[in-house]
Structure 1
Amino acid sequence: MTTHLSLYCRLEAMPVKKPTIKDVARLAGVSFKSVSRVVNNEAWVSDEVRTKVQAVIEQLNYQPNRTARLMRTAPFSLAFVYDNPNSHYVIEMQNGILSLCREKGFELVIHPTDSGSDQVRHELTSMIATNLVGGVILTPPLSESTELVKQLLEQQAKVVRIVSGAEPPDELCPTIYVDDERAGQEITEHLLAQGHRRIAFLGYHKDHKSSLGRYRGYCAALKNAGLEVQDELVICGNFTFDSGVEMTEQLLQLDNKATALFGCNDEIAAGALFVARKRELAVPQDLSIVGFENSPFSRQTWPGLTTVHQPNAEIAAKAASMLIALMQEPDQQPSHYGVKLHLVLRDSVSSII
């Protein structure tokens, strides 16, 4: 009896193990980082997770370490990183991301950079290492660098990419993919349906997948119509008004004139329209012109440009929503979202049938 009583007394005297953050995480079925965010009362935690974690905290009577509570696992900021000379594209993307940031209580860091510079990786990794941002939205051509994405992920950054394609390129991180190829084919088919056979493509750029996707669509439409791609009608350039001017000047020097041209974006098409007017060519009677993106350039020219509507603000808002969700629930699997584009028919195309 004495032996049993002594044992009982010793067991009663043993210290009770205090519950830890990992105990809370295990019972709540979430990561310990999610528990930390709830404890720190951070804004970017879903209501469902917050309720679940708080219930377990009360159940276990968990008392967080005061020092730990003062630590923040990530900032309330995300970054929009781009290398794009198209100011309208950048503004639309920025506004789309800001709409979600304001709704969710996040700050937005806008970071233009040069994708061709060796500094770009250092800039982005420094932003992550110094805890300036917890997540990054990458746009082309930066989003097309698998090496850059992997480097950011190794630093525990949350990444969402916007890329050109009919499907996500991999499962590294959440991706919004835009089917440029299909839209490029459809707008070329529209020109073909109006009787055009000498159709130029302005803005080919071998290093930009958006350009390559639109070019592949152009080629597919010609092939389906039984036409060969004429190398002289495919002109390399950048997505700018000035480049559109230069490429159109080059195109108009050909002896066998094109009757229509496909500008790889609306700025290129607007540059083409400017040259046509300067050369006293009537649009669309002498030259039909189409663009891509449905930017203000396409709506503010005369005649209005037939183009492809690319909802940049909506795409950006979706990317921000995906990134914030990933930052709130870091253990979730990558999700993807496809964007289909549609034609906007205006007055810059005429029939020659």
Structure 2
Amino acid sequence: MAATIKSVADMAGVSIKTVSRVINKEGTVKPDTLKRVEDAIATLKYTPNKAARDLASKGASVLGYVYDNPNAYYIIDMQKGILDVCRKNNYELLIHPCDASSSNIAKELVSMVETAKLAGLILSPPLSEMPDVLSELDAKNINYVRILSGDAALSSNLPYVLVNDFKAAYDITQHLIQQGHTHIAFIAGEEIHKSTTERLNGYKAALKEANIELDESLIIKGTYSFETGVKSAEILLGMSPHPSAVFACNDEIAAGTLFGARMKGVDVPSDLAIAGFENSPFSRQTFPPLTTASQPTNEIAQHAAASLIQFLRARKTKLTADNLNYTFVPELVVRASTEKA
């Protein structure tokens, strides 16, 4: 993995800002600190992001997309959507993967914005849902747009894009109930993502409305990964009786669950119905293909980038920008993994 400015700072025992000063030859760094940073750069073979620095020096309009998400399909669709809007509006894009669990994540983002002279940030979960990070950005008057899970308007003057995971999860669970299932399991992703909580709450609401008693043993904690699906299938199919249906928090988990069921000789959907979420390629590449909720990630990304650019232009001209916020409700897509013969 290529070295980052953060890894240089960690090795040298200094802040990211100090590394930035050394890279930019600002001449305000003490000799011993300068040597430590230069040694770390040499050891790690770190190459500064020249493109971002050149853009900053030219005064170009640059946005930053910041993410920490293991779902490659999600990230690719996000990047494509943002880039499409940036190119149409003569903006450049700096893409910055990061570790949201880092204790210095807020300072890392502030340093990146200041070093590359970014006009604003596009934040996706979980960063967009972390109060400490948002507070630090607000304190530095950094502009950003958030993509996050929810079903209600937020008290903020900055633009946002909401994804109504609750309603989509409710629709998936209701579909399983309508198929005759009353013993339905739920496999969760990381709790740091609000989408996990929203999807779990939608599942619970559908059960409650159908007067189906909630069985906590059928709720499996996990991560948004194929491996979670495989392990969860082993747990759930070891129960007696095992559930007749599974709602997995995303398609990758659902695909892993399907694989685990096949390993146990369990037929899908006659012995176990499986539904996922997102409508990623995972849902279409399995056999049988997975019932899911179609989340238009590319479109969500386009709206987020367009809202931020519109907000920035309005602020520059001291005008009020309207209709900056959007809400998406992923739509139920029924496929063979839940259909009765």
Please give the secondary structure, in 2, of the residue aligned with 1:329.
Answer: helix
Indicate conservation of the 8 Å contact 1:75/1:131, yes or no.
no
Q: Is 1:278 the counterpart of 2:267 in the alignment?
A: no
Please give the secondary structure, in 1, of the residue aligned with 2:267.
Answer: coil
Alignment of 1:164-183 (within 5 A): 164-183=149-168
Q: Distance in 2 between matches of 1:326 and 1:237?
A: 37
Q: Give 2:47's aligned residue.
A: none
Q: Is 1:160 the counterpart of 2:145 in the alignment?
A: yes
Change in Cα spacing, 1:269 to 1:195, as seen in structure 2 (3 Å) is same
What is the aligned-residue RMSD (CA, Å)? 1.8
Q: Is 1:343 the counterpart of 2:332 in the alignment?
A: yes
Change in Cα spacing, 1:74 to 1:151, as seen in structure 2 (3 Å) is farther
Q: Give 2:201's aligned residue.
A: 216
Q: Decide which of 122, 125, 136 is 1:137's aligned counterpart.
A: 122
Q: Decide which of 252, 270, 292 is 1:307's aligned counterpart.
A: 292
Q: Distance in 2 between matches of 1:139 and 1:168?
A: 17
Q: Give 2:243's aligned residue.
A: 258
Q: Give 2:90's aligned residue.
A: 105
Q: Give the partner amino acid of 2:153.
A: P
Alignment identity in percent?
44
Indicate conservation of the 8 Å contact 1:74/1:131, yes or no.
no
Change in Cα spacing, 1:90 to 1:204, as seen in structure 2 (3 Å) is closer
Q: TM-score, normalised by structure 2?
A: 0.79
Indicate conservation of the 8 Å contact 2:230/2:259, yes or no.
yes
In the alignment, structure 2 segments of 5+ residues that lack a partner are: 1-55
Shift of 1:196: 0.3
Indicate conservation of the 8 Å contact 1:206/1:212, yes or no.
yes
Change in Cα spacing, 1:87 to 1:204, as seen in structure 2 (3 Å) is closer
Q: Is 1:92 the counterpart of 2:81 in the alignment?
A: no
Q: Give 1:289's aligned residue.
A: 274
Indicate conservation of the 8 Å contact 1:199/1:261, yes or no.
yes
In the alignment, structure 1 segments of 5+ residues that lack a partner are: 1-70
Shift of 1:75: 4.1
Q: Give 2:38's aligned residue.
A: none
Indicate conservation of the 8 Å contact 1:168/1:176, yes or no.
no
Runs of 4+ in 1 over 3 A off after TM superposition: 71-75, 331-335
Q: Distance in 2 between matches of 1:229 and 1:304?
A: 28
Q: Distance in 1 between matches of 2:157 and 2:125?
A: 16
Indicate conservation of the 8 Å contact 1:205/1:212, yes or no.
no
Q: Give 1:68's aligned residue.
A: none
Cα deviation digits, residues 227-261 of structure 1 (max 9, x gap): 11111100000111112112222222212200000
Shift of 1:170: 2.1
Q: Give the partner amino acid of 2:303.
A: K
Shift of 1:126: 0.3
Q: Is 1:321 the counterpart of 2:310 in the alignment?
A: no
Q: Give 1:23's aligned residue.
A: none
Cα deviation digits, residues 3-25 of structure 1 (max 9, x gap): xxxxxxxxxxxxxxxxxxxxxxx
Shift of 1:132: 3.5
Indicate conservation of the 8 Å contact 2:106/2:132, yes or no.
no
Q: Decide which of 218, 233, 238 is 1:248's aligned counterpart.
A: 233
Indicate conservation of the 8 Å contact 1:164/1:179, yes or no.
yes
Cα deviation digits, residues 263-284 of structure 1 (max 9, x gap): 1000000000111111111110
Q: Distance in 2 between matches of 1:199 and 1:188?
A: 8
Q: Decide which of 177, 187, 191 is 2:172's aligned counterpart.
A: 187
Q: Is 1:120 the counterpart of 2:118 in the alignment?
A: no
Q: Give 1:14's aligned residue.
A: none
